Amino acid sequence: MSASATKFIIVRHGETDWNIEGRLQGQSTIDPGLNEKGFLQAETLAEGLKTYNISKIFSSDLRRARETALKISILLNKEVSYDKRLRERNQGVLHNLTYKESEEQQPEAYAILKKRDVNARIPNGESQEDIRLRVVEALQDIGRISPGAVVLIVTHGGVVHEIFRHVKCHMFSERIINGSVNILHLDKENGVSSALSINHSNDINGSEKVHDTINSGNITKEKWIWAIELWNSTTHLESVGFSVKGYGGGAGEA
């Protein structure tokens, strides 16, 4: 990557009670916040990010992301900018329902939620492709104003999935854990799109590296190189714990 590349540290918000209950948060007007473990995850996450030279913080404006971003911003002494394009999927008629309730009360919408048709839109809500388009636009806009910078993004499981799907040419990611860390490099390319070989690590400190090849993305007329350095790292959460089965981190969940 060139010196002008933006390094994005992308984190999923801490745990909420709705994550544990299997209740669809999306963009619910109830806007649930973090639970006790979620706040601990946010504090631990903040400690783990101190070694990075983060210059800017951008966050979804939904409460669970705001509360996570605030914990980090206080420790890093950085202001937070909020961007609605970083919100979780709009779940439409499924908002506030558990997965079981969704299946019973809104079977057609539930079927859309669970299948991997990225263009299928939940009634009164969004498709996975809708998320991808707005989130990629947001990251590219931030990249334009932050060349060479390290930028923290606080967002949601569905958003992280769509970033992965964009970079990895429509492959689906594993379940994204609350408080997990992902590192992505984004650079504008002057020439023709090409592949980029980088190290792919599953450790926040960059250990246990294996070789990976990431293809460049192109969502506008501009050419961009997208490269993953780290994905779904949870080693920093070992002291406070996390739920592997917690809802909201799988493809199609929120």
Beta strand pairing call for 6-12 and 150-155 = parallel
Residue 43 contacts residue 66 (beta carbons within 8 Å): no
Measure the CA–CA gap between 103 and 52, rounded to whole angstroms.
Answer: 43
Among all residues, which ones are annotated catalytic? Answer: 13, 88
Which two three-digit tokens encode residue 173?
């990611």
- Vertex 6 angle, CA 142 and 85, to 5°: 30
